[in-house]
Amino acid sequence: MNKLSLLLAAALAAPVTAAPPEPKLIVAISVDQFSAELYNRYRAGFTGGLKTIGSGIAYPVGYQSHAATETCPGHSTILTGRHPSGTGIVANSWFDKKTGSNVYCVSAGLNADPQARGPQNLRATTLGDWMKKAVPADRVFAVSGKDRAAITMAGHMSNGTYWWADKEGFRTSSFAGAAGPEVTQPAKAFDAKLFADWAAKAPVIWPAPSAACAALQKPYRFGKADISGKVPPDATLHVEDAPGFAATAEFQDQLRASPLFDKLILAFATQVLDQNQLGKGPGTDLLAVSLSATDYVGHRYGNGGAEMCVQMAALDEGLGRFVEHLKGLGVPFVVVLTADHGSTDAAEREHDHDPQASRLDGGALVSDLNKALKQQLDLAYDPIESGDPQQIVINVGADAALAAKVQDAAVAWLKARPEVREVLTRAQVEAATVAPGTPADTLTIAQRFNESYDPERSGDIAVAFGPRTSFGVPRGPTDYVAGHGSPWDHDRQVPILFWWPGAPGESRPAPAETVDIAPTLAALVKVQTPKVDGKCLDLGANCGR
């Protein structure tokens, strides 16, 4: 047999990915703070929805390839196909030098109701926008525990965008999309029944741990806070004892950082599916669901203990019920599941097996930097404005010469700090452009910052601290002990999973990116995309073949 024949035989023998049917319904799920590390740590034990969704075309280690690994930037990439440099969502909030104030990423504008929320700061369009522009009968809905997650996935033309408001339930805003009675009344009915049910019988905030999860129960001192490591956590034990507990700030706080929160989000998402008969209209429908509990649990307790173990089991079970409900709709559908960012465990527990892990008081560092600059440059005011030590903003007005002196002095001071790995000026970040097609796992630190850089909204100095740094010093049982936000892979790597009934099982090692999701789904529904940073991932015959 000649070489050509051998190649032809090999090609014919190679498995061919079975393309999904053209869907009537797309369900895009984001699990907030669901790192690739976390997914792969528990993957073998999943028996519910995460097992099902992971049994399709899976990229177990995908990327939010940029440096700004926070909720708002990460969610803005999933259905726009653009990095934060293209969406304009460079952080959860940023300092506006023109107004001298902080801007929340989904604030609807300075002249609007301060509680109004919408996509006005989102400079890119979403898959839902593209679909509705092409076929006005298509419908777009989004549900999340967080406003910034729902809004950035829904886009500018939503038929209904909902998020949880403490003590109120699921709400929306006219700035976020349609907000007439047909949108608000179902949410009010859901909330009324929910609070009535809670008044009649207190809900189970935390299910009992399995034997495997119970084995992870261990006390730690995180910062200055002593945590028992038990499930249910100590702080949740008596939140339901007070009369009218469901309306108390204490209960609402504990609710967010518990498996019950995702259960509520999925229950309401199921109602949105059913009441709007999604997948059964004249067009194709999109439902975006962002599940927020993993993020709150990870911040409150870290991701290496029994609390996260129980959360993973509950998430798997809840998604299992949700997937079974989707199957019962009787319509062709496709599910994609990913995350807005990864995370690292609390530094003290992480340090047990990673000596690099450390804790940093970011507020104290910025304060010390301001003190040093004031003394060195003989200033009477703080020249640095920053709520995030990874994005330093020079705030000295229009004095360019002084700004240059502040930058040089700040860079030198930061580079001398042992916690700092890299310091980049605005010019250095701007120059670190990324050539199209560059694999996400090969980007330099400067390129990662470039992918989340916006000249009007980003800081003047970008700082990369050591890997596995936990920011902040917890002092009590409700303080955050761990998190994310760095340019390191533990915060960038997330799973990207595509599944539909009959999907072939295929685990791919390629470093796919979340910006690839929107063009991939757009190809499935035959919708033209505007300029995007991502590429179409081959799910069969979807990418122009």
The three-state secondary structure class of 252 is helix
What secondary structure, in 3-state letters, does 360-414 show? ECHHHHHHHHHHHHHHHHCCCCCCEECCCCCEEEECCCCCHHHHHHHHHHHHHHH
For 106-169, the DSSP string reads TB--TTS-TT-B-STT--S--HHHHHHHH-TT-EEEEEESSHHHHHHHH-SS-SEEEEEETTTE
Euclidean distance between CA atoms 44 and 116, whole angstroms: 42
Mean pLDDT of 224-237: 93
Give the model's pLDDT for residue 17.
52
Give the model's pLDDT for residue 51.
98
Mean pLDDT of 307-323: 98
DSSP 3-state percent helix, strand, coil across the chain (nearest 5): 40, 15, 45
From the candidates 71, 284, 469, 520, give the one annotated as an active-site residue. Answer: 71
**One-letter identity of residue 123:** R
Residue 395 burial class via C-beta count within 10 angstroms: exposed 0-12, middle 13-18, buried 19 and up = middle
Residues 6+ apart with CB under 8 A from 46: 54, 312, 316
Give the model's pLDDT for residue 18.
66
Position 359 pLDDT exceeds 80: yes
Q: Which residue has the tokens 């075309």?
A: 57
Euclidean distance between CA atoms 295 and 301, whole angstroms: 10
Which structural domains are found in the chain, ordered by start? 25-352+488-524 (3.40.720.10), 358-466 (3.30.1360.150)
Q: What is the pTM of this model?
A: 0.95
User: Is residue 535 a contact partner of residue 516, using CB atoms and an 8 Å limit?
Assistant: yes
Q: Backbone phi, then psi, for 190, in 5-degree steps?
A: -60, -45
How far is residue 151 CA from its own chain's centroid?
12
- Using one digit for the tens of pLDDT, what is the confidence trace for 450-459? 999 999 999 9
Is 71 among the residues known to form the active site? yes
**What's the residue count for the chain?**
545
How far is residue 118 CA from its own chain's centroid?
17
Q: Which residue has the tokens 């293209």?
A: 86
Tokens of 38: 């976390």
- Using one digit for the tens of pLDDT, what is the confidence trace for 24-46? 999 999 999 999 999 999 999 99
Euclidean distance between CA atoms 142 and 30, whole angstroms: 11
Q: Which of 34, 128, 33, 120 is nearest to 80 (CA)?
A: 128
- Using one digit for the tens of pLDDT, what is the confidence trace for 146-172? 999 999 999 999 999 999 999 999 999
User: Is residue 298 a contact partner of residue 316, using CB atoms and an 8 Å limit?
Assistant: no
